[in-house]
Chain A
Amino acid sequence: MPFVLGVNFHEKKLVKKALESFYALGPQTSARIMAKYCIHPLAKLGTLPAKTVTSLTAELSTMTIENDARRLVQENIKRLRDMGTYRGRRHAMGLPVRGQRTRNQISTARKLNVLERGGGDRVRNS
Chain B
Amino acid sequence: MTMASPNCWRCLARPSQRLLVPTSIAGPSTTAAFTTSAARFAGERKEAGGNPLSRHIRSGKKLILGKKRHKGDKSSGKSVGEGERKAFRKRITLSNNNALDVPGLDEITAENMTDQAAVGQVMGIPEEVIDQLRIVEAFKPTQQWGLFRRPHMLIRRETVDFVKAMTETVARKGTFRSVVTGPRGSGKSMLGLQALCAGFLNKYVVINIPEAQDIVNAHTEYATIPNTNMFSQPVYLIKLMQDMYATNKEVLSKQQVGLDHMHLPISVPRGWSLAQLASATKEPEFAWPVFQALWKELLLPGRPPIMFSLDGLSHIMRPSDYRSPSFELIHSHDLSLIRLFVDALGGKTHFANGASIVGIMTKGNSLKIKSLEKALEQAAAAQAGLKIPPRDPFYSKYDEKVFESLKGVGIFEVNGVSKAEARALMEYWAASGILRMRIDEKNVSERWTLAGNGVLGEMERASLFPLRL
Contact = CB atoms under 8 A, between A and B. Distances in A.
Interface of A: 31-32, 34-38, 40-43, 47
Contact of B223 (A32, A38, A42): A38
Contacts of B218: 40-42
Interface in B191-232: 218-224, 231
Contacts of A36: 325, 327
A32 B253 CA distance: 45
B322 interface: yes
B324 A40 contact: no
Interface in B222-264: 222-224, 231
Contacts of A35: 323-327
B contacts with A: majority SS: loop
Contacts of A47: 221
Contacts of B220: 40
Q: Kindly list the 6 A-B residue pairs having the minimum CB-CB distance in the complex, ordered from nearest.
A: A35-B323, A35-B327, A40-B218, A36-B325, A38-B223, A32-B327
Contacts of B221: 40, 43, 47
B221 to A, nearest CB: 6
A36 B325 CA distance: 4
Contacts of B322: 40
Contacts of A40: 218-222, 322
A57 B423 CA distance: 66
Given A31-B323, A31-B327, A32-B327, A38 B219 contact: no
A11 B45 CA distance: 53
Nearest to B327: A35
12 contacts: A35-B324, A35-B325, A35-B326, A36-B327, A38-B231, A40-B218, A40-B220, A40-B222, A41-B321, A42-B218, A42-B219, A47-B221
A40 B222 CA distance: 7
Interface in B298-344: 321-327
Contacts of B231: 38
B325 A38 contact: yes
A47 B94 CA distance: 33
A66 B325 CA distance: 24
Contacts of A32: 327
B315 to A, nearest CB: 16
Nearest to B82: A12
B33 to A, nearest CB: 55
B213 to A, nearest CB: 14
Contacts of A34: 323
A36 B239 CA distance: 25
Nearest to A52: B223
Nearest to A43: B221
B222 A38 contact: yes
Nearest to B232: A38
Given A32-B327, A38-B231, A40-B222, 16 more contacts: A31-B323, A31-B327, A34-B323, A35-B324, A35-B326, A36-B325, A36-B327, A38-B222, A38-B223, A38-B325, A40-B218, A40-B221, A41-B321, A42-B219, A43-B221, A47-B221
Contacts of A42: 218-219
A39 to B, nearest CB: 8
Contacts of B223: 38
A63 to B, nearest CB: 16
